[in-house]
Structure formats: structure tokens, C-alpha cells
């Protein structure tokens, strides 16, 4: 519901603030796209644009030097291996795997630049300074976890393709997820596309993507992090997320993994009778009969190891089973060559590489170190952002990755504490827990936006052939992905020509775009044209009207409180109301002035004074609108600042009283009561529409 504006009452001399306390320093992360592909719109719209908006706001709010916005290409892992193999075999690619990743990384960089994503660093886990730092930091993390006693050797079964004569990496095996209730479209060797973790032996209907054959399971040793030992840490983290006001999705999803180890046994084919025959041979457990309408009974065990013993026995007895979500040992290493080598911890565990998911969790720390190194800030500068209590890490992620960031990461951070204090909120010097900002799926049609799905979404680059980056940014932010999965429906890509080619059907993507290209653009153009035509290309200075300042103060406070909750779709609603209010203020005021001047016997002096005050009011409103829209549409807003001819560092800063524009102007302008602005030439737009939209 729109916030009703009450413009009555006294106006304070300066904006009193919103009461929100911001950290002294902040890190913003945006995940790590795999280095096997370019970016589709789900990467950009679902994570990068929201993260960029937040990072830009924080730079304006607490100072650019106090913010690090980091990401990079995930260079390792089975998706990279499999993509490279297909590229070589199907397309005759002759480069190395490093060449393959670098080419995809370069394409990602170009796309992010095109969408105005202003990262402090975007290199990769094996690219640039970040790659060098990341290799060294990974070694230190592995050694610390081992020294703290949180590693265990586990010999697990790994898929082997006898026809190809090779072990298969994770993405070279496909099947169905064995986790009860999973609705993922695809599962791989030990995880599905919704992030569920399971033992390879549990994968349903496995098939080798290399030969199409059913692979064998052969034993392979790896290091595992003892995640089940950190159930208390994960439980406390859920409570901390609730105290932080995290989105309900975060706590709900993490809590699902705190369930006891359960096996769901399908009731078909006299399953209960067959279970009773082997029940006494299973580890101690609790039997629960099927609930009404359910097609399985449940067996609950005290530990994951006991559950796995029972799982193998039940499968050997021919029963159809699925396992429930629970805390399982978190795999740290893998058996593929393409990865960061594991330091020698045990002579029996030689030749292993680090699995890409664990090292991607601490990669943002490596990237923050790389920013410091590139800026010559010293080797410990990163600690000011990751280990001090007056700093906060905001991690923007998709809901599929909550297991890794919300379950494994909090436990790993505690496991890395020197001296093993096992504190979720430790003293300074240890890694501080992150604030997770998780989005629901961004859909294309009825399916999750995924380049590996059945329905191929448009690439992010293809969208820019029909929309401007700022039009798309505004639309993505308005989708309310914090609340639910939302379909992205660009009209120009609609498969139905009766929709696509019908001029009477509006394009959903352009709903928010009109706020930029029409309303906001009109306000800015009107102010600068009026200054050019009536005030010799100068902006008159003075005190804005009381109701104007009251409206601005209320909007600033509401905006800031909304940003504290990262409700970016509400930010778009707030700005829609404020920009339209400001534009109406101009339209009504200038109509009143011009109409009055056209009347016989008009009080010209009074009406010209009213014109001057109107421009004082509307330039003030324009400045506040531009500051608040800067995180959404940075290029157009920075162009407006250029026409104000004011210092961007001051213009885009919240360190102001917001009592008028005098505080931003040099002394000579304030003394003269006028500030020169840049001349606006005809047909110059601050937020132009895409050329294709002028058909």
C-alpha cells in the first residue's frame, strides 16, 4: 500500500535521519558464475543487479573507500571440465582449459560492464591477482581446518565409466535427486541443481554423460569437514538471521537441514513387511507409519553414519528409498586434476584437489585481499572488512545456494577460529558471520532461468539489443524476488506472435522504464531548460518550501529504512511515488506561473518570484531524486550531476543536512545566490529509451 504523505507540521532545519545505524565498513558479494559459460539474465537480474544497487547505495551512504564489492569467475569444478571436454570434442576447440575459462571470463566481464555493474574486482579463482591470492589463502584455510581437528578421511564411492576407462567428475553423471520432496530438474553425482547434497550411491538412475552407459561405483578417498558436529552453530546462526531481520526464506531453508537423519521408504510392493524382515539388523532407529496421504513411512536415526548403514541395507533388500535433508559431512576435496592442489596433510591422501564449492565460499575473502594488493593498502587491510565487529558482509545469493552459504559457511567460519572458541559471534580477529540476502528464482516462462534447463532463456547480452541497461536494472529490482519466484516476461522474446507483435499489449519490462525515460527525464530536462531560458544557465539558490523539504525528509527516511531491509522492490515503489510527486510539483507550478503571466494586468514581479522559488524547489527535489536513484540508474544520475556542475563526491553523499542546495555549492555561488549549470542542448536525454523502441 502506498505511504500517505502528510505535509502538515513544522519543518526541521535539517534532515533528522532515519535512526538506521550503518556499519563503518562493508563487503558486498554477488556469488561466482562458473567459468564455462557467458551470463544469462538470471545471473544478472537475480543477483548482480541487486548486489550492485546495494553496493552503490553503501558507497554513497558510508563512503566509497569503506565498501568492497567483489566477485569473480569460478574457474574450477566439474562444470568447467565437462564444458571444456564438450568444446574440444564437439567444436574442435584447440586451446587449453585455462584458455577456455579465460574466454568465458572475458565475456562475463563485458556483460557486467554493459549492465553498469560497478565491482571493485572481477577476476577469478585462477585469474589475475585474485587467483594468485586465492591459491595461497586456500592452502592456509585447508591447513587451519586440519590443524583444528575438523577434517576426516572418508572413503566414498565415486562413479567410474568402464567404457571410457575413467572416473567421472560430478557433472559427467546425471540422474534424479534422491532427497525426499526435491523438485529439481536435474541431479549430478552428489548434488542436485537445487543444492541438495547426497552420497553418490543414492543417486537415482545414474547415467554417464560421456558414453550414456550406467557407471559403476568404485571407492575413492577424500577429506570431509565434520559438518554434523556443528549443528549447534547452524541452529544459532538461524536465530541470528532472524535477529538481523533476514528474509524468511533464509531461516526456513537452513532449518530444513537441521532435521534428524531420516530415510523415507516407499510403501509399494509390501515394503513394510520386507522392512520388518531386516529391521533388527539396522542401527537403532524410530519407525513412523505413513502420514495420511503420504506414500512412504519414515525411519529416523541418531547419526548420519547410522543412517548410511541402514540405507545400504535397505537398498540391498530391494526397497525403494529416499533420504531426507540433514547435516552430512561436507566434502572438501575431489579427485579431478583441474583444481587447487591440496597441501600434503597425509601421505595416504596425495594428489587431491579442493572441491570448487568450499573454496568458492572463501573466495570473496581472497578477492578482498586482492583489492588491497592492487591498491597498495597492505596485506592485512582485508581484515578490517571481514574480522572486525564494526564491519558487515552482505552476501547476495540465489535460493539454490543457501545450503552452502547458510549451512556450510557458518560452520566453516567457526571451524577456522584460532584456538577453537566455537563462537558464532567471536571477538575481533576471527571471521564475522555474513548477512545473507537471498532471492527466490527468477523465472523464464514457468521454469527457473538456467542455461542448462530445457527452456533456454535469452542471454543477458541479447536483452541489450532491445532494452537499455538502466531500463532492465529498474525492472529487475522491481520484481520482488525477496518475496517469491517471479517470471521475467520480455515481450520481444514472447514465443506467441499474437503477443509479441501486438502494439496494444504493453511490455512488462517497460513499466519501470517509463519512470526513467519519461517522468524522471522530464523533471531533469525541465529544470535545466528553465535555468537556461530564464536564468542565464544558472540555478537559483535559496531555501526550499516547507512542504518540499518535509516530503524529501520523509522519503529519505523511508528509503533508508527500506534499504536496511534490502527490500529493493519497495525502493522502486518509493522512488516512483517521489519522482512523480516532484514532477507534478513542477508541472502544476510552471502552469500556474505561465497562465498568470498571460492574464491581463498580471503581477509580473510576484509571478517571476514564484518562478524562481519553483526552480529552487524543483532543483532541490531533482538532487534528492538523483541521489536516491543513483544505485538504480547510475549512468543517467551521474549525467544529471554533471549538468549540476557539482562535485560528485559531495552530490552523491548522504553526509548532508538536505536543507537546500547551498551546502553543495562553492562559496561564490552561495554569495551570488546563483550557481552556473551546464547548458542542456535540445534532444539530450538523461535516460534515453532504446533505439528499437522508436519503431
Radius of gyration, alpha carbons of the chain: 29
With cut-offs at 50, 70 and 90, classify the pLDDT of residue 185: low
Residue 75 pLDDT > 60? yes
| Residue 326 contacts residue 180 (beta carbons within 8 Å) | no
The pairing of strands 442-444 and 486-488 is: parallel
Nearest-angstrom CA–CA distance, 327 and 655: 46
Q: What is the DSSP string of 220-244?
A: EEEEEE-GGGGHHHHHHHHHHHHHH
Instruction: Check: CB of residue 105 under 8 Å from CB of residue 124.
Output: yes
Phi and psi at residue 195, in whole multiples of 5°? 90, 5
Residues 6+ apart with CB under 8 A from 122: 70, 71, 72, 73, 108, 109, 112
Q: Residue 4: is its pLDDT beyond 50?
A: no
Q: What pairing do the DSSP bridges indicate for beta strands 674-676 and 538-540? A: antiparallel
C-alpha to C-alpha distance for 493 and 241, rounded to whole angstroms = 39
* Segment among 447-456, 496-505, 528-537, 551-560 with least mean pLDDT: 447-456
Angle at 64 between CA 60 and CA 65, to 5 degrees: 150
Share of the chain above pLDDT 70, in %: 96
In three state form, how does the secondary structure of 261-299 look? CEEEEECCCCHHHHHHHHHHHCCCEEEECCCCCCCEEEE
Number of helices (H), then strands (E), belonging to the chain: the values are 24, 22
Calculate mean pLDDT across residues 346-371: 95
Reading phi first (left if > 0) and then psi (alpha if -120 to 50, else beta), residue 369 is in: alpha
HSE at residue 221, side-chain half, CA atoms within 13 A, is 10
- Nearest-angstrom CA–CA distance, 217 and 140: 32
The torsion angle over the Cα atoms of residues 367, 373, 379 and 382, rounded to 10 degrees, is -40
Provide CB contacts within 8 A for 513, sequence distance 6+: 467, 468, 470, 471, 474, 475, 689
492: pLDDT strictly greater than 70: yes
1 pLDDT band (50/70/90 cuts)?
very low
Asked if residues 643 and 687 have their Cβ atoms less than 8 Å apart, the reply is no
Mean pLDDT of 680-693: 95
Q: Residue for cell digits 535516460? A: 687
Q: How confident is the model over 132-149, as pLDDT tens digits?
A: 999 999 999 999 999 999
Give the pLDDT confidence score for residue 2 in this predicted structure. Answer: 41
pLDDT in tens, 497-509: 999 999 999 999 9
pLDDT in tens, 16-47: 999 999 999 999 999 999 999 999 899 999 99
Q: What is the pLDDT of residues 591-630, one digit of tens each?
A: 999 999 999 999 999 999 999 999 999 999 999 999 999 9
Q: Which residues are registered as beta bridge partners of 204?
A: 176
Digit-coded pLDDT (tens) for 193-205? 777 778 788 888 9
What mean pLDDT value characterizes the chain?
93
Write out the DSSP string of 49-67.
HHHHHHHHHHHHHH-GGGE
Please report which helix (H) or strand (E) contains residue 435, including its range: strand 435-439
Residue 452 binned pLDDT confidence (cut-offs 50, 70, 90)? low
CB atoms within 10 A of CB 63: 15
Q: State yes or no: pLDDT of 80 exceeds 60.
A: yes
User: In this model, does residue 448 exceed pLDDT 70?
Assistant: no
**Residue-wise pLDDT tens digits, 643-682:** 999 999 999 999 999 999 999 999 999 999 999 999 999 9
Which of 184, 21, 162, 165 is closest to 561 using CA atoms? 21
DSSP string, 622-657: HHHHHHHHTTTSHHHHHHHHHHHT--HHHHT-S-S-
pLDDT of residue 537: 97
Residue 298: predicted pLDDT: 97
Closest CA to 371 of 189, 119, 616: 119
Nearest to 326 by CA among 308, 338, 346, 344: 308
Q: Which three cell numbers stand for residue 277?
A: 524382515
Q: pLDDT tens digits for 86-112? A: 899 999 999 999 999 999 999 999 999
Q: Which helix (H) or strand (E) holds 681?
A: none
Distance from first CA to last CA of the chain, Å, rounded? Answer: 36
What is the CB-side half-sphere exposure of residue 572 using CA atoms within 13 A?
24
Q: Above 50 in pLDDT, residue 7?
A: no
Q: Which residues have CB under 8 Å from 36's CB, separation 6+?
A: 79, 80, 82, 83, 84, 100, 101, 104
Least confident of 83-97, 250-264, 413-427, 554-568: 413-427
On the question of pLDDT at 8 being above 80, the answer is no
Amino acid at each position: 500500500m502506498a505511504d500517505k504523505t502528510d505535509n502538515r507540521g513544522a519543518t526541521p532545519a535539517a534532515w533528522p535521519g532515519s535512526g538506521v545505524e550503518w556499519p563503518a565498513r562493508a563487503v558486498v558479494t554477488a556469488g561466482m558464475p562458473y567459468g564455462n559459460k557467458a551470463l544469462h539474465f538470471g545471473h544478472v537480474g537475480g543477483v548482480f543487479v541487486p548486489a550492485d544497487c546495494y553496493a552503490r547505495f553503501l558507497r554513497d551512504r558510508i563512503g566509497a573507500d569503506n565498501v568492497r564489492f567483489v566477485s569473480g569467475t569460478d574457474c574450477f569444478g566439474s562444470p568447467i571440465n565437462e564444458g571444456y571436454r564438450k568444446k574440444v570434442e564437439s567444436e574442435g576447440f584447440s586451446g587449453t582449459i585455462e584458455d577456455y575459462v579465460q574466454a568465458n571470463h572475458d565475456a562475463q566481464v563485458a556483460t557486467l560492464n554493459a549492465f553498469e555493474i560497478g565491482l571493485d574486482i572481477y577476476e577469478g579463482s585462477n585469474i589475475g591477482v585474485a587467483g594468485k591470492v586465492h591459491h595461497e589463502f586456500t592452502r592456509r584455510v585447508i591447513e587451519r581446518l586440519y590443524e583444528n581437528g575438523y577434517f576426516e578421511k572418508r572413503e566414498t564411492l565415486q562413479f567410474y565409466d568402464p567404457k571410457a576407462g575413467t572416473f567421472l567428475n560430478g557433472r559427467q553423471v546425471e540422474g534424479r535427486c534422491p532427497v525426499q520432496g526435491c523438485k529439481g530438474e536435474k541431479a549430478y553425482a552428489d548434488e542436485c541443481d537445487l543444492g541438495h547434497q547426497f552420497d553418490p550411491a543414492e543417486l537415482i538412475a545414474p547415467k554417464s554423460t560421456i558414453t550414456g552407459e550406467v557407471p559403476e561405483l568404485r571407492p575413492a578417498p577424500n577429506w570431509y569437514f565434520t559438518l554434523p558436529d556443528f549443528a549447534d552453530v547452524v541452529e544459532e546462526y538461524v536465530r541470528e538471521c532472524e535477529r538481523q531481520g533476514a528474509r524468511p526464506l533464509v531461516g526456513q531453508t537452513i532449518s530444513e537441514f537441521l532435521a534428524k537423519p531420516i530415510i523415507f521408504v516407499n510403501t509399494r510392493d509390501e515394503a513394510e513387511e520386507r522392512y520388518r524382515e531386516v529391521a533388527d539388523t539396522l542401527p537403532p532407529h524410530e519407525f513412523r507409519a505413513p502420514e495420511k496421504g503420504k506414500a512412504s513411512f519414515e525411519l529416523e536415526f541418531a547419526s548420519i553414519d547410522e543412517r548410511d548403514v541402514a540405507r545400504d541395507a535397505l537398498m540391498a533388500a530391494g526397497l525403494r528409498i529416499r533420504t531426507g535433508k540433514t547435516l552430512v559431512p561436507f566434502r572438501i576435496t575431489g579427485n579431478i586434476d583441474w583444481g587447487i592442489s591440496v597441501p600434503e596433510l597425509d601421505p595416504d591422501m596425495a594428489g587431491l584437489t579442493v572441491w570448487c564449492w568450499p573454496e568458492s565460499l572463501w573466495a570473496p575473502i581472497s578477492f578482498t585481499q586482492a583489492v588491497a594488493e592492487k591498491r597498495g593498502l597492505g596485506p592485512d587491510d582485508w581484515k578490517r572488512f571481514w574480522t572486525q565487529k564494526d564491519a558487515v558482509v552482505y552476501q547476495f545469493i540465489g535460493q539454490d545456494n543457501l545450503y552452502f552459504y547458510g549451512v556450510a559457511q557458518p560452520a566453516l567460519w567457526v571451524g577456522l577460529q584460532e584456538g577453537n572458541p566455537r563462537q558464532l559471534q567471536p571477538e575481533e580477529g576471527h571471521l564475522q558471520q555474513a548477512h545473507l540476502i537471498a532471492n527466490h528464482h527468477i523465472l523464464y516462462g514457468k521454469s527457473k532461468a538456467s542455461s542448462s534447463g530445457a527452456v533456454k532463456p535469452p542471454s543477458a547480452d541479447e536483452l541489450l539489443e532491445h532494452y537499455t541497461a538502466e531500463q532492465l536494472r529498474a525492472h529487475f529490482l522491481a520484481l520482488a524476488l525477496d518475496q517469491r519466484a517471479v517470471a521475467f516476461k520480455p515481450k520481444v522474446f514472447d514465443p506467441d506472435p499474437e503477443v509479441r507483435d501486438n502494439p496494444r499489449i504493453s511490455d512488462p519490462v517497460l513499466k519501470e522504464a517509463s519512470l526513467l525515460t519519461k517522468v524522471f527525464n522530464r523533471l531533469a530536462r525541465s529544470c535545466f531548460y528553465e535555468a537556461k531560458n530564464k536564468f542565464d544557465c544558472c540555478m537559483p539558490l535559496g531555501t526550499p518550501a516547507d512542504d518540499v523539504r518535509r516530503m524529501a525528509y520523509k522519503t529519505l527516511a523511508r528509503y533508508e529504512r527500506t534499504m536496511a531491509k534490502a527490500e529493493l522492490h519497495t525502493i522502486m515503489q518509493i522512488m516512483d511515488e517521489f519522482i512523480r510527486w516532484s514532477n507534478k510539483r513542477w508541472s502544476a507550478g510552471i502552469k500556474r506561473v505561465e497562465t498568470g503571466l498571460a492574464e491581463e494586468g498580471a503581477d509580473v514581479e510576484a509571478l517571476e518570484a514564484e518562478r524562481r522559488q519553483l526552480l529552487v524547489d524543483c532543483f532541490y527535489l531533482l538532487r534528492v531524486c538523483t541521489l536516491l536513484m543513483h544505485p538504480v540508474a547510475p549512468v543517467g544520475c551521474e549525467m544529471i550531476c554533471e549538468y549540476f556542475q557539482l562535485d560528485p563526491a559531495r552530490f552523491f553523499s548522504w553526509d548532508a543536512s538536505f536543507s537546500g542546495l547551498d551546502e553543495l555549492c562553492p562559496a561564490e555561488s552561495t554569495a551570488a545566490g546563483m550557481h552556473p549549470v551546464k547548458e542542456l542542448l535540445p534532444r539530450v536525454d538523461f535516460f534515453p529509451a532504446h533505439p528499437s523502441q522508436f519503431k
